[in-house]
Amino acid sequence: MDFTPSEDQLAFREMAEGFALNELRPNAIEWDEAKHFPTDVLAQAGALGLGAIYTRDDVDGSGLGRVDSVMIFEALAKGCPTIAAYISIHNMCCWMIDTYGTEEQRAAWCPKLATMETLASYCLTEPGAGSDASALSTRAVKDGDDYLLTGQKQFISGAGASDVYIVMARTGDAGPGGISAFLVEKDTPGLSFGANERKMGWNAQPTRTVNMDNMRVPAANMLGAEGKGFNIAMSGLNGGRINIAACSLGGAQAALDATVAYMRDRKAFGKALIAMPTLQFRLAEMATKVEVARTILWRAASSLDAKAAEATTLCAMAKQFVTDECFNVANDALQLHGGYGYLSEYGIEKIVRDLRVHQILEGTNEIMRLIVSRSVIAES
């Protein structure tokens, strides 16, 4: 692939970065401290075409590709990784409806999601089924023209604020083949939410349990065919993994840029930190990690655009490598800021806290290594 962005890609990236630096970064620390979810700012993002980046344009999506999207999410995360990550999850949900929904479902939901005046959440993880998602126990029982859903989802981003939930529930026997996907509206009787979780980072987006108690959902709200929910969930996660990696990349780049600026101004032993060779070497290592991360991320995104056979493996590689190395870059940035890096007003410690969870969600990095190892073994 060509690693030189096209004129269109440069324009998308410039637009997203301008939004991030003007609307997200100035408020990011305040939103974090207040646990404020800025839905009004999300609507502004939707007006720029950021709510349905790789959803088809016949339902008001932007119709872009996966390489385009990772460039955009990297740019957004320079302003706030937390908000960029929620926009990523929202985009994944919109894409799932666009890809697997009926024409009626696409027309009903995608245009509203594209504006981000309507928000979406993805509900797969349960208290007893995290990495082993195929073991989920939320049950959907057919009752006439409806399904009755009972169960609980855990760690759901946007829960309580979102308007539609893509819920994976068991309609059949044990295992992945017994899982189906449903579109659930926020005001559905029997749907409730737990308290906003107290978290290390990602404080500017709510994380709650989603509780379903004999919740009646029309059979017409099933997304895709019965028994295909697990496949739908996993296909969504391929894109979700590279998007969340892009959010780590943007956070790391922002931390690196801030560190270079800080070291130009900060003096020790009679000279600027930036002039000290040992610290220059640290910057070189950080910059190299960021650039290598960007390269493997674009490679994985390109494979997803091409629907390549190795796309799932490459997305897992990219998610694991980028989120690990970019967290390390952010942590190094904090160290190079010295005591100031530990103060909230500099914004570095927030980036460290936000990026840490990226090594866990969308499939832990241990699971990413398992996916990659299986591919390696199968090829040998």
- Residues noted as catalytic: 362
- Return the SS3 of 167: strand
Strands of 112-240, DSSP E: 120-123, 139-143, 146-157, 164-170, 179-185, 191-193, 207-218, 222-223
What are the DSSP calls for 252-290, one per residue?
Answer: HHHHHHHHHHHHHH-EETTEEGGG-HHHHHHHHHHHHHH
Query: Pick from 81, 14, 86: which is nearest to 330 by CA?
Result: 81
DSSP-derived secondary structure for 23-88: IIHHHHHHHHHHT---HHHHHHHHHTT-SSTTS-GGGT-----HHHHHHHHHHHHTT-HHHHHHHH
CA distance 151 to 31: 31
Nearest 5°: CA angle at 92, between 91 and 96?
Answer: 115
Q: Taking each helix axis as running N to C, give the angle between helix 103-115 and helix 81-100, from 0 to 180 degrees, rounded to the nearest 10.
A: 160
